[in-house]
Structure 1
Amino acid sequence: MERHEIEGFLAVADELHFGRAADRLLISPARISQTIQKLERRIGAPLFERTSRRVHLTPLGRQLRADIAEHHQAINDGFARAVAAARGVSGVLRLGIMGSYGQLMLDVLDLFNLRHADCEVQMREIVFGDPFRLLREGEVDVAVPWLPVDEPDLTVGPTVGTEQIILAVSSRHPFAERDSVDFEELADETLLRLPRGQAVPEYWIEAHVPQRTPSGRPIPQGATVSTWHELLSQVAAGRAMSFCSEHAKDFYPTPNVSYVPITEQPKVQWGLVWRTSDENHRIRAFAQAAVDAKAADVSAAEDAAPTGTAGRK
């Protein structure tokens, strides 16, 4: 098949309308109709069923589309990557950040900016009540949510950080005076919950707002919150308490909310996530900067660590 035949066939297969397919390819309807007719003669069977009102793929047409669409996209993607590599990394990378976590990624941002000064990083806020919406709507290129993420249309890249999960409680609650709280004690309290439904997958809720203590006791669930400020308002009013990331105590100090460690020291990871079909050279460059920044941090920590008793007298 010639390239124009492949593109013409796939356009009609997608649009199921010769006029719209022609507009998409910037050619005349007569031209695309001739292309399809010529292709059908070469194959020896119709690829489309045409009526005066509708166009449908025949079983043979559906099979041909399944066989060539993915390969055609791979060729286009490979060509786009080659062009991007030749031009260098430039343009705009839109980064979706949850809360204030972007301030804990300055090493990644600095390294990316140093390497790719012609690429501007723009930041948008994502919320835990709908963590993947901006990705799926094409509003951001890369998001930095809590892990795990297990979505068929999303790629999970490198982790960018790990921190402890702590408890946000009303400053009037007895826990506010404690040095730590045992996980089992939460069975006697009420915790805020994430919204259930398509926006927040069930596995994500279970990972970040467990329904039971380690021994299996149920944890009472309170009001549903979708944003950090909703969470703070509920906690400050004493209506419930909530798990949160450790950096909250530094970035969101308030006289009405106290942050208390959990004895078992559970942890949460943050990672880069992007829509698989949108992966491009800017995303790959940012992911590499995240990997390299983390490696540099590990190396610096190792260099600063005590070397034991060697050399001591």
Structure 2
Amino acid sequence: MELRDIEIFLALAEELHFGRTAERLHVTPARVSQSIRKAERRVGGVLFERNSRRVRLTALGEQLRGDLSAGYRQITNGIAKACAAAGTVTGTLTLGTMGPMAHTIKPILDLFHSAHPDVELRHREVQPPSPLDLLRSGDVDVALLWLPVREPDLTVGPVTHVSDVLLMVSTDHPYAGRDSICLEDLADCRLVGGTTIPAYMQETLAPYRTPSGRPITHSPTASTWQEAVSIVSSGQAAAGVSAEAATFYPWPGIAFIPIRDAPPCTWALVWRTIAETPLIRAFARTALGETSGPLIPGTGLSLAHSAS
């Protein structure tokens, strides 16, 4: 089996969905099906049981996944180490941030530019209702995201900063005149929902239940930050946001209310594990406050930090 076919097989073994696997690897579903048929011919048996409702691994597929996973990691880690040994950090790095959030890590960007002046740093806007989409599509190399991020194909790198959580409401909202609210108050609100955001990520800014267990409504949904702001300003719903939103978006018709008992929002650099490069590791080292020293592939940690 070729390396790409192994990657497709292992991705489908995780996703158990041809469409999601295709999106994750930026290929067509037909390419995924072709690769799996090729693998099944190669091993001489069926690797997946599939029907109109579900896809699941056969016993043979489970065995092959176990046998291939470790070897695949060794190969990709070996390639990463060879790239690092070459010592060349050049090219273009595309950073995904939410609106002007790049300003919050300006010291990191300045230090990175100073240490690697030959690297071109490009910026793309990540949409809060779908924070992982640009990473998965390969349109960004690294994204600045709030935690937690618990995706098997993504590496969570250095933490950059921590923010308070606020409630964004229209100036006509009953909470607009308050100095602060508590999480229990959210049961009396409608919160804007996301589109492709994992539920556990959305819960950081928009919980599904209050501390006492009361349900919190998530409706309507927005696909972009601008849509979310429009929904809030029109009074249809409120939105949980990080404190930076109050600094960057002091728009008429919008108010920001601290949620005094909400856990803080932690931000970190995140990238696709399989797409990790010396350039990404150099950027992560900069965020760690280092300008030298190896980064352990796929972990987001330097050897110095892992030993501490």
TM-score, normalised with respect to structure 2: 0.71
Residue 14 of structure 2: aligned partner: none
Paired amino acid for 1:237 = S
Q: Label 1:174 to 1:76 Cα distance change in 2 as closer, same or farther (>3 A).
A: closer
| Sequence identity (%) | 40
- Confirm or deny that 1:76 pairs with 2:79: yes
- RMSD over aligned CA atoms reads 2.8
Output the CA distance in 2 between the equivalents of 1:12 and 1:246.
Answer: 42
- Confirm or deny that 1:287 pairs with 2:284: yes
Residue 181 of structure 1: aligned partner: 181
Paired amino acid for 2:254 = V
Residue 58 of structure 1: aligned partner: 43
Structure 2 residue ranges without an equivalent (≥5): 8-37, 46-62, 291-308
Q: Label 1:119 to 1:59 Cα distance change in 2 as closer, same or farther (>3 A).
A: same
Q: Label 1:257 to 1:285 Cα distance change in 2 as closer, same or farther (>3 A).
A: same
Output the CA distance in 1 between the equivalents of 2:192 and 2:138.
Answer: 30
Per the TM alignment, residue 57 of structure 1 is displaced from its structure 2 partner at its CA by 1.3
Residue 252 of structure 1: aligned partner: 249
Per the TM alignment, residue 14 of structure 1 is displaced from its structure 2 partner at its CA by 6.3
Residue pair 1:155, 1:275 contacting (<8 A) in 2 also: yes
Residue 57 of structure 2: aligned partner: none
Per the TM alignment, residue 108 of structure 1 is displaced from its structure 2 partner at its CA by 0.5
Q: Label 1:175 to 1:12 Cα distance change in 2 as closer, same or farther (>3 A).
A: closer
Paired amino acid for 1:102 = A
Q: Label 1:184 to 1:11 Cα distance change in 2 as closer, same or farther (>3 A).
A: closer
Output the CA distance in 1 between the equivalents of 2:249 and 2:97.
Answer: 16
Q: Which deviates the most, 260-269 or 122-131? A: 260-269
- Please state whether the residue corresponding to 2:130 is helix, strand or coil: coil
Paired amino acid for 1:76 = I
Residue 268 of structure 1: aligned partner: 265
Q: Label 1:258 to 1:73 Cα distance change in 2 as closer, same or farther (>3 A).
A: closer
Q: Label 1:105 to 1:13 Cα distance change in 2 as closer, same or farther (>3 A).
A: closer
Residue deviations 1:111-144, cap 9 Å, x none? Answer: 1011111111101011122212221222111011
Paired amino acid for 1:155 = T
Residue deviations 1:282-303, cap 9 Å, x none? Answer: 111111111118xxxxxxxxxx
After TM superposition, the structure 1 = structure 2 runs for residues 14-33 of structure 1, keeping only pairs within 5 Å, are: none
Task: Give the paired residue count.
Answer: 241
Output the CA distance in 1 between the equivalents of 2:180 and 2:202.
Answer: 23
Residue deviations 1:48-72, cap 9 Å, x none? Answer: xxxxx99931369x97x83855544
Output the CA distance in 2 between the equivalents of 1:239 and 1:74.
Answer: 49
Residue deviations 1:73-108, cap 9 Å, x none? Answer: 44333322222x1x3x21111101122210111011
Structure 1 residue ranges without an equivalent (≥5): 1-8, 16-52, 294-313
> Post-superposition, which runs of at least 4 consecutive aligned residues in structure 1 deviate over 6 A?
11-15
- Please state whether the residue corresponding to 1:161 is helix, strand or coil: strand
